[in-house]
Structure 1
Amino acid sequence: MSDSRKQAWQALREQTVETLATLFAADPGRLAKLSARLEIGTGGVLFDWSKTHLTDGLLDGFESLAEASGFSEMRRKLFAGEVVNPTEGRAAEHSSLRGVGKEASTEEAAALRARMQLLVEAIHEGALGEVRHLIHIGIGGSALGPALAVDALARDFALVDVHVVSNIDGVALEAAFAACDPATTLVAVASKTFTTIETMTNATSALKWLADNGVIDPYGRVIALTAAPEKAVEWGVDETRILPFAESVGGRYSIWSSIGFPVAMAVGWEDFQAMLDGAAAVDVHFRDTDGRANLPLRAAFADQLYSRLRGAQTRAVFAYDERLRLLPSYLQQLEMESNGKSVTAEGKPVEGPTAPITWGGVGTDAQHAVFQLLHQGTHLVPVDFIASIAPGDELDPAHHRILLMNCFAQGAALMAGKDSDDLARAYPGDRPSATILVDDLDAATLGALIAFHEHRTFANAVLMGINAFDQFGVELGKEIARKIEKGGEGFDASTEALLAAAGLG
């Protein structure tokens, strides 16, 4: 760590942190300073960090840390398509898929997007016969993003019924088979390398299901989504049904590429494009805004305050909207696979904690499950609440009114607490939360929410001096699994016994 970064961290550690109640009482302008609105499409998103312990002094200190960490230069490299993943010598060009990035990359992405649009619209118009169902097979980012977007946007009406399957457990694939008519089903196989064992095993079983149920040409029902189109051709997919994406697009950032094919199939091209446009609006804001006014960077300041300075080991996300029930799972991969590191980008041990454990759920269910710990437990857990002003249903408005009242009440209760002579009924309060409130949850605002968290994750990585774009930690377990499959020996006694008990020894 450079001397300037050490000094910036030390200056932050030396600052006094007052209670939230004290901070509000001392500064009538606190809400205005720590809340901001970002216009997205025909609506917008309100961000409120006033119930966190951020202060003018801390924000000044974090801005100094960002400068000492080379944030502006790293951000420039990100959007210029230069190497920001030093361990693999790669750029990270997910923003170019949305039209914001190096000119050559955005042009290439536009051409690939046009190819995808032609195929999507041709399928919708009947070029492949009647298509009522799509089984999308992938894992990790190739599944989590599509599952989130389809679940959020295609609840009321879907042009095609989409089932996302990621688990190698055959129960998951059989459930998709049970919901689909093989005669009217397409299979999308999403794999960057087209060699991922879980995905390719599931894909092979899907082809067998099609063949066993009278589909004469199962391979003709497959759409391949990959950065290795030659592998898809070798596997048997016709090149006209292969939708490539660039090698510089990481899995957990890939929903904007052809990995978003099932989203476009479900909701139509117009909504998929709106999702890209919403994300692009956040890209422009993140690229062009400096200091605390940069909203993803400000979120990272709050994250670092709690994880690095106050020892919080987790971060909770609660979506008070059933349409966002899969968002916590999506953010788990985005944040923990990106920033769950123990070495710096220079390959040296990190001096301090990195990514907290991301977890969460959906309101109001979570209030009756985990909020006891948040209010009266011994852990410090910063919370993000996410909600929509407009309802996603057409029932009695009482439903949505009660939902929002509960969302806002939880943030207020975490901050205020409640005294009682009976300690079992006392609430300590002074527990931090932030709120993200969208005007309406449509395709554009969903895109904006995802892009906001992508850039927040990147900003956190820069402040910690780590590389957000490699993920070697997922490989060791895979290597051992391959060793087991080949009949390898020499495992620990526990693993040997488990293999024997399961008939795998």
Structure 2
Amino acid sequence: MTAHDTPVDPTTTAAWAALDAHEEELADGSLREWFAQDPDRGRTLSRQAADLLVDLSKNLIQPHTLELLLQLAQETRVLERRDAMFAGEHINTTEDRAVLHTALRRPQGSAPSLQVDGQDVDADVQEVLERITAFAQNVRSGEWTGATGKRIETVVNIGIGGSDLGPVMIYEALKPLRADGLEARFISNIDPTDAYTTTADLDPETTLVIVASKTFTTLETITNARLVRTWLLDGLRARGVEVDEREAVAKHFVAVSTALDKVEEFGIDPANAFGFWNWVGGRYSVGSAIGTVLAVVLGPEVFRELLSGFHAMDEHFRTAEPDQNVPLLMGLLNVWNVNFLGAETHAVLPYSQYLHRFPAYLQQLTMESNGKSVRWDGTPVTTDTGEVFWGEPGTNGQHAFYQLIHQGTRVIPADFIAFATPTHPLRDGKVDVHELFLANFFAQTKALAFGKTAEEVEAEGTTGALVAARTFSGDRPTTSIMAPALTPAVLGQLIALYEHITFVQGAVWGIDSFDQWGVELGKKLANELAPAVAGDEQAIAAEDSSTAGLIRYYREHRA
């Protein structure tokens, strides 16, 4: 296939019609029945991908469901499009770009080398990675110092979207691995509260700032960078330090950008700018120079282990047989849940406090990628696309929104993620707290799958109207993902798993999962509204009555 081929309308395929009929057949069954009929169902519907065990058995499927979904993937040419992506074809059709985040993770010396659009991709990636490694080592060793000669103690990463969510999530997940005496902080929101609270207790003499913006024009990022530059220079002066602004900025600011002229204009030495490429989308970019903050604070070795985990899942997705291919199967299951079972949301529930930002990371990955209503050739989609991803770490969620998942009226597929070995093996007397934690993990998917019948409730002595309130329908679909421990490699595998799940869904639906035009309109209008917000009455009067009224309220009540 070529990247610009007309997408196959999935609703016209034989597989789609078969899945429609199959869904009606399955409606008469239940997970209780299916597990009773096949005592080995848990093993039959489990798969291994790198270090991840993925149990699909508590989804509302039979083995034949997977066969039909794989037929749908074949008829919509999903694997051909996968191969086109790995080969560097321009599958990002609206921007006419290759999609090569997987190239960021290829080990040095991979064969054959990857040549795309006349560019030696492997050589370029390794060159930047080596520069990042050298820079990180200089900071960690104390060779790189601030303007007054003090070691760096805090790295502040300024970015937004893909330049923020990935680094934040990974830093929080792997925080126990950070170097002693070195921490990371993150600023993304243009709300000045974010910049103020992040820097309020920092020492400007020991703070290094990474400004992450490919074009160095992102409104939120550059505004925050200017705020932090002012904070730093004012802070140095308040300590009696004689400040040469450009020298101070050059010692305390580095950039992740390809716009070297704008970097230099800001005051950052272009030699301290780390670039990446237009074939790396923001939400797929954490394995690029966007991860510089991670290499500094967690260490280059940790960063490379993270990349190795990404690559392990990339290779699984690229080479595993379809019926064993976990990203392929999970992506197709999401299509099944959305288009045949009517699911509108998808919960991701990590049983690890260190993954508390993982659902937020997936929100951008999945919803910015597949929140589309046109296909890659510009024609309207023929199905529902995308779903709302959300979640919180367990067991917090159990005491908040699990009620809706267990007994609500909506189908909410959920992915449960857990690790066999805890990061902190604590005990409460004789009780292994991690085992208590995992007992909750196992219990939730069991309860969601099998529920509790009215007869079981009555057998416990409950009578009357309370019986219905204490009955659980079961048949709430879940996927369980387990790994030995939350290591950098395992985290890389998890991230890449969801990247490829997202790809599979988009390929079935025929959409371009790698652009984000929906983000642009609001940004453009915000710039156009700036004069009105600043008080230009003529500009205010030109707005619709709602917008004008809201701006006038702001003008009248601004203290």
Please give the TM-score of this superposition, normalised by the length of structure 1: 0.96
Shift of 1:229: 3.0
Q: Is the 8 A contact 1:138 1:199 kept in 2?
A: yes
Q: Tell me which residue corresponds to 2:55.
A: 48
- 1:290 and 2:317 correspond: no
Q: Is the 8 A contact 2:159 2:211 kept in 1?
A: yes
Q: Tell me which residue corresponds to 2:354.
A: 323
Identity of aligned residues (%): 39
Per mean C-alpha deviation after superposition, the further-off stretch among 215-224 and 6-15 is 215-224
In structure 1, distance between residues paired with 2:260 and 2:34: 56
Shift of 1:5: 5.5
Q: Tell me which residue corresponds to 2:248.
A: 218
Greater Rg, structure 1 or structure 2? Answer: 2
Shift of 1:213: 0.9
* Counterpart residue identity of residue 309, structure 1: F
Q: Tell me which residue corresponds to 1:234.
A: 265
In structure 1, distance between residues paired with 2:496 and 2:503: 11
Q: Is the 8 A contact 1:272 1:443 kept in 2?
A: yes
In structure 2, distance between residues paired with 1:56 and 1:150: 39
- 1:132 and 2:177 correspond: no
- 1:445 and 2:452 correspond: no
Choose which of 171, 190, 193 in structure 2 pairs with 1:168.
190
SS at match of 1:429: coil
* Counterpart residue identity of residue 437, structure 2: L
- 1:390 and 2:458 correspond: no
Deviations 1:221-275 (A, max 9, x none): 1110123333312322101210111121110001000100111111111111000
SS at match of 1:121: helix
Choose which of 111, 114, 136 in structure 2 pairs with 1:102.
114
Q: Is the 8 A contact 1:5 1:69 kept in 2?
A: no
Q: Tell me which residue corresponds to 1:121.
A: 137
Deviations 1:330-374 (A, max 9, x none): 000000000011111111111111111001111001000001111
Note the residue ranges of structure 2 that are not aligned, 5 or more in a row: 1-6, 108-112, 146-150, 455-462, 533-538
Q: Tell me which residue corresponds to 1:6.
A: 12
Shift of 1:492: 2.3
Q: Tell me which residue corresponds to 1:352.
A: 383
In structure 1, distance between residues paired with 2:392 and 2:218: 29
- 1:25 and 2:59 correspond: no
Q: Tell me which residue corresponds to 2:48.
A: 37
Choose which of 480, 486, 498 in structure 1 pairs with 2:531.
486
* Counterpart residue identity of residue 6, structure 1: T
Deviations 1:260-294 (A, max 9, x none): 01111111111110000011000111111231211
Q: Tell me which residue corresponds to 1:336.
A: 367
Per mean C-alpha deviation after superposition, the further-off stretch among 223-232 and 96-105 is 96-105
- 1:496 and 2:548 correspond: yes
SS at match of 1:408: helix
Shift of 1:155: 3.4
Note the residue ranges of structure 1 that are not aligned, 5 or more in a row: none
In structure 2, distance between residues paired with 1:226 and 1:22: 56
Please give the TM-score of this superposition, normalised by the length of structure 2: 0.87
Q: Tell me which residue corresponds to 1:409.
A: 443
Choose which of 53, 56, 62 in structure 1 pairs with 2:69.
62
* Counterpart residue identity of residue 102, structure 1: L
In structure 1, distance between residues paired with 2:548 and 2:248: 39
Per mean C-alpha deviation after superposition, the further-off stretch among 359-368 and 25-34 is 25-34
Q: Could you say if the C-alpha distance between residues 464 and 111 of structure 1 is closer, same or farther in structure 2, counting changes exceeding 3 Å?
A: same
Per mean C-alpha deviation after superposition, the further-off stretch among 440-449 and 5-14 is 5-14
Q: Is the 8 A contact 2:178 2:299 kept in 1?
A: no
Q: Tell me which residue corresponds to 2:403.
A: 372
In structure 1, distance between residues paired with 2:47 and 2:352: 21
In structure 1, distance between residues paired with 2:114 and 2:528: 41
* Counterpart residue identity of residue 464, structure 1: W
In structure 2, distance between residues paired with 1:90 and 1:400: 46
In structure 2, distance between residues paired with 1:486 and 1:497: 15
SS at match of 1:405: helix
SS at match of 2:481: strand
Shift of 1:143: 0.3
Q: Is the 8 A contact 2:173 2:354 kept in 1?
A: yes
Q: Could you say if the C-alpha distance between residues 245 and 299 of structure 1 is closer, same or farther in structure 2, counting changes exceeding 3 Å?
A: same
Q: Is the 8 A contact 2:367 2:389 kept in 1?
A: yes
Q: Could you say if the C-alpha distance between residues 230 and 26 of structure 1 is closer, same or farther in structure 2, counting changes exceeding 3 Å?
A: farther
Per mean C-alpha deviation after superposition, the further-off stretch among 321-330 and 347-356 is 347-356
Choose which of 193, 203, 214 in structure 1 pairs with 2:225.
203
In structure 1, distance between residues paired with 2:299 and 2:201: 21
Shift of 1:484: 0.6
In structure 2, distance between residues paired with 1:5 and 1:482: 41
Shift of 1:105: 1.3
Deviations 1:28-86 (A, max 9, x none): 332222112233xxxx2211111002222211111111111111221111111111110
In structure 1, distance between residues paired with 2:71 and 2:95: 29
